[in-house]
């Protein structure tokens, strides 16, 4: 279903069963047909929600009504919230955004450069890949030092890091993404 998808594993059947009434049909189709892996030239990852759910509930003020479904190459998490809309939690920036009410529109807009430029930092990602190589499925690019600690948003100040551990680190140091 996803263009240029690189599969790393099947989505566990128990996860599909657990969330089948809580996520859009398009996501169930992705889980069943594609499984876990990357797309958008490795920028986005289809993730197992159970791997990220506890972290999301602790670190995001809407965590109790959100299901983590994708991760970006910079450790941002795309969520399905209230069974109504897609959101993105940008831990590196300490922000969140609600950006679409329909997963099929999200998939349709992925080839649109203006859409991806609005929500994702593809040019910076391409520079990072050119300098450091492709990410493994469990990795993202992390800014060193963290942006919240005065780091710079450029390829000279980033390393390959483990996605979950990096988000936990950002959460521990910044308090997560809360509605202050």
Interval 31-83: pLDDT, tens: 999 999 999 999 999 999 999 999 999 999 999 999 999 999 999 999 999 99
Q: Average of pLDDT values for 16-34?
A: 97
Per residue in 129-158, pLDDT (tens digit) is: 999 999 999 999 999 999 999 999 999 999
Strand residue runs (E) in 125-173: 139-143, 158-162
Sign of CA dihedral 24, 25, 30, 31: positive
Hey, what domains does the chain have and what are their CATH numbers?
6-174 (3.40.1580)
CA distance 132 to 160: 8
**Which pair of tokens denotes residue 50?**
């159970």
In percent, how much of the chain has pLDDT > 90? Answer: 89
- pTM over the 0.75 mark: yes
In DSSP terms, 100 is beta-bridged to 86
In percent, how much of the chain has pLDDT > 70? Answer: 99
- Burial label for 3, CB within 10 Å (0-12, 13-18, 19+), is exposed
């Amino acid at each position: 279903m996803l263009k240029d998808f690189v599969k790393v594993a099947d989505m566990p059947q128990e996860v599909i069963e657990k969330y089948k009434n809580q996520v859009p049909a398009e996501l169930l189709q992705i889980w069943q047909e594609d499984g876990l892996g990357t797309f958008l030239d490795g920028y986005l990852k289809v993730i197992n929600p159970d791997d990220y759910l506890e972290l999301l509930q602790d670190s995001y003020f809407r965590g109790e009504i959100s299901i983590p479904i994708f991760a970006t190459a910079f450790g941002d998490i795309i969520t399905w919230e209230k069974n109504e809309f897609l959101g993105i939690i940008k831990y590196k920036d300490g922000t969140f955004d609600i950006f679409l009410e329909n997963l099929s529109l999200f998939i349709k807009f992925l080839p649109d450069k203006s859409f991806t430029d609005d929500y994702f930092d593809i040019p910076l990602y391409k520079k990072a890949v050119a300098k450091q190589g492709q990410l493994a499925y469990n990795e993202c690019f992390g800014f060193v030092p963290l942006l919240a600690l005065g780091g710079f948003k450029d390829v000279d100040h980033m390393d390959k890091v483990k996605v979950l551990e990096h988000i936990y680190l950002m959460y521990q140091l910044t308090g997560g993404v809360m509605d202050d």
